[in-house]
Amino acid sequence: MTDRLVGCVQKEEGLVIPDDWPGYNLELFNYPEHYRGDIESVLIPHGVIMNRIECLARDILEEIGHHTLMVLCVLKGGYKFCSDLVDSIKSQSRSTNRQLTTRVEFIRLKSYLNDRSTEDLHIIGPEDLSIFKGKNVLIVEAIVDTGKTMKALLQHVKMFQPKAVKVAGLLVKRIPKGSETLPDYVGFVIPNRFVVGYALDYNEYFRDLNHICVISETGKQKYKV
């Protein structure tokens, strides 16, 4: 039995990490030896991510966790967030005696090369999402910056006539122009810097890092394509 969660901040606001937050000294944490020198600091430690996910799971469960919840995981960056979020939703659902079925589908998007967003967005994934018809759908994304990806994805999902579509975004970047669309459930609002770890990559590297970290100049040069 888990205790009912108290003290989680507002889901739409997210936990705000200010621009002048220097991050934690990397040497305080355990991380793969092969990334030594490639990371500047730890922006969000793994334990803090997990705690925030519990809060989001609670809100999601209360609002759309009835009968069946269809989850659309945005790969590759969203795989860890999605897995931990669904685990938390299921365990809180069990401890509150709800009859909830979850089903996870996957979609792959690609738009980044090095640390830049490219114009062409590729949706690679199931053509047919008609199983979403009449159901509550939760899109799970690791990071939202311009909001363009999210907008395109929302349009795509709505074609299959779900009952409701919500978006959970672990990170929202504070970019100068602001995002076009914001997720319904926000984990953290972070400075406009390129981050890696917890399944977020730089040219496919760093996904195997547990914490969300800021990449160093050395790291960017080393893994540039």
Q: Which range of residues in 12-20, 59-67, 128-136, 188-196 is near ligand HPA by CB under 6 A?
A: 188-196
Question: Per the residue annotation, which of 145, 184, 201, 208 is the catalytic one?
Answer: 145
Query: Of residues 25-84, which lie at the interface with ligand HPA (CB under 6 A)?
Result: 77
Min dist CB 174 to ligand HPA, Å, is 12
Describe the crossing of helices 79-95 and 46-64 by its angle, rounded to 10 degrees: 60
Q: Per rule CB under 6 A, is residue 194 in the interface with ligand HPA?
A: yes
Report how far apart, in Å, the C-alpha atoms of 137 and of each of 39, 51, 66, 104, 168 are: 36, 23, 11, 10, 11
Contact pick of 43, 69, 74, 195 for ligand HPA (by CB under 6 A)? 195
Report how far apart, in Å, the C-alpha atoms of 18 and of each of 23, 185, 190 are: 10, 19, 7
**Which of ligand HPA, Mg ion, none has residue 56 at its interface (CB below 5 to 8 Å by kind)?**
none
Q: Per rule CB under 6 A, is residue 188 in the interface with ligand HPA?
A: no
Based on the residue annotation, tell me whether 184 is a catalytic residue of this protein. no
**Euclidean distance between CA atoms 224 and 203, whole angstroms:** 7
Q: Which residues have a catalytic role annotated?
A: 145
